[in-house]
Amino acid sequence: MRIFPLLLCLLIGTGSIARQRPVQDRPNVIIILTDDQGYKDVGFNGSTDIPTPGIDRIAKNGVVFTSGYVSYAVCGPSRAGLLTGRYQDRFGFSKNPLFAPNDPKMGLPLSEETMADLLKRGGYTTAVFGKWHMGAHPDLHPNKRGFDEFYGFLSGGHNYFPEDYTIADIKDARSQYDGYRTRLLRNTERVDETEYLTDALSREAIDFVERNHETPFFVYLAYNAPHTPLQATEKYLSRFAHIEDTKRRTYAAMVSAVDDGVVALLDKLDELGITDNTLVFFLSDNGGPSPHNASDNSPLRGFKGDFFEGGIRVPFAVQWKGMIPSGLRYDHPVISLDIFATAAAASKTSPKNELDGVNLIPYLTGESRDLPHEQLFWRNYEAGKFAVRTPESKQITTAKETFLYDIQKDISESRNLAADEAKRAAELSERVEKWKKSLMDPIFMGLSEDKRYSELHPDRFGK
């Protein structure tokens, strides 16, 4: 990792950075987020059965975070942390929100500034494509949360084939999973889509970039693939005829569809001559739920929903050609919350709220030799479970159990050291107790309370 300063000096010495930087001094920002993708299901983390040349191109052009985390092990809270740069438990977004279009509190509270709010305030044109999941009430709509353009769906998941979009409008929904069958939205208007959903989202993102490339822009490309339902077109399925497991074959096809979109988006940046002035992040919103979608989190233990590594350590890479080194693997722990802080620094815009993330650029260039984080935290309110990660250690605690791992040497969390290292466990628990004081209780009921919520809110979907 200490080769960064030397590498940067060499680049500066040859003048390559100066020649490659365009006139515009604030980079475009693109976040490519997948849904439920396994840690190993990208080439840069060792996938052998699912080629991902587009996603791997980001890694080749930039930096792979081998210890890259998200702030929660399921999608809603994880995305809330990403979009705000703050631990979501600070503002009560501790559960997966329900699909409740009539509830103005069922989603991201208005006290929170989104990354789109920040960048729009800084003069950026902003857009989100795909999964929102930050609330379906009109007050929580993407166009009210800093995004100039929105194309996608409000719920926590969606079907992929247009013929399945059988619910005309949100007012016609009558159950939690009706959100999967609603027609898509362009801003606040329902539209008739004809393409496979992943392809449509890629198409819309590329069109936005082409229309807005002359001024700073922010794209949040929030794919719902490879989240269930497992659905793929023959175009992608035919690439994986060699995979015998039908679930894994469809999952691979869904990842491949995302990768095609990434290739096309990166090609468009090259075509427009803005690659060197675009900061591109790629990550998954949580670990793969292996039993459900046949994802592969190897060599990590656990999966989506866990605070074992398989639930919160994700494929994570960034490129900013000419500004950060390329082809390197960064081993110190970072978290999705850092993306907001990095975007704020790059755009020269000051956040409204105090952030929990840090600007990663000085650590990647070698300007700073410190660690980005001394510790990272997680809370599962309903399960009474906490986790803390330091550079050397990882601890998970419940009311009944403590798991302590030497995470640098034991990435698979195979040997619990809690009984043997009581002093280290106690010290980590003290850190968690201090962090807990900054948190609040959940502000809305979650997915597991769907039935009870409907009983309490009979007007949940409207009349």
Q: Does 75 qualify as catalytic in the annotation? A: yes
Phi, psi (degrees; rounded to nearest 5) at 211: -75, -20
Q: Does 9 qualify as catalytic in the annotation? A: no
Q: Which residue of the set 9, 75, 158, 213 is catalytic?
A: 75
Edge-first strand order for the sheet with 385-389 is 376-380, 385-389, 393-397, 402-406
From the number of C-beta atoms within 10 Å of its C-beta (0-12, 13-18, 19+), residue 121 rates as: middle
Q: Which residue of the set 9, 133, 158, 292 is catalytic?
A: 133
CB 322 within 8 A of CB 25: no
SS (H, E, C) the chain: CCCHHHHHHHHHHHCHHHHHCCCCCCCEEEEEEECCCCCCCCHHHCCCCCCCHHHHHHHHHCEEECCEECCCCCHHHHHHHHHHCCCHHHHCCCCCECCCCCCCCCCCCCCCCCHHHHHHHCCCEEEEEEECCCCCCHHHCHHHCCCCEEEEECCCCCCCCHHHCCECCHHHCCCHHHHHHECCEECCEECCCCCCHHHHHHHHHHHHHHHHCCCCEEEEEECCCCCCCCCCCHHHHHHHCCCCCHHHHHHHHHHHHHHHHHHHHHHHHHHHCCHHHEEEEEEECCCCCHHHHCCCCCCCCCCCCCCCHHHHECCEEEECCCCCCCCEEECCCEECCHHHHHHHHHHCCCCCCCCCCCCCHHHHHCCCCCCCCCCEEEEECCCCEEEEECCCEEEEECCCCEEEEECCCCCCCCCCCCCCCHHHHHHHHHHHHHHHCCCCCCCCCEHHHHHHHHHHCCCCCCC
Q: Which position has the token pair 């004081």?
A: 437
What distance in Å separates the CA atoms of residue 122 and residue 319, rounded to the nearest whole number? 22
User: Residue 69's beta-bridge partner residues?
Assistant: 313, 335
Catalytic residues: 75, 133
